[in-house]
Amino acid sequence: MDNGMRDYILAIITTDLSLLQGGGCPVFLAKDATQQNKISMLLARILGANVHDLENGVYLIVKH
């Protein structure tokens, strides 16, 4: 039985810092949606993770 944490957030990418509260992982501020998408895709590739769009201006990079 594996009780270890398997899914975890590696980074958050947003265009509006007021949407975030608290912390615990790196946050990247993008100037617009195009830059947000590019940063998200590059980080996901580099970290071997997935991008999840919360559809509120926030993208999560999650390792599964």
Predicted confidence (pLDDT) at residue 58 exceeds the cutoff of 80: yes
Q: DSSP string covering 1-64, please?
A: ---S---EEEEEEES-GGG--S-SS-EEE-SSHHHHHHHHHHHHHHHT-EEEE-SSSEEEEEE-
Range of the domain at 20: 8-63
Please check whether residue 31 lies inside any domain of the structure.
Answer: yes
| Residue 40 counted as domain residue | yes
* pLDDT tens track for 34-53: 999 999 999 999 999 999 99
The verdict on residue 20 lying in a domain is yes
**Residue 5: pLDDT over 70:** no
Whole-model pTM? 0.85
* 1 found inside a domain: no
3 assigned to some structural domain: no
Domains in the chain, number: 1
pLDDT at 21: 85
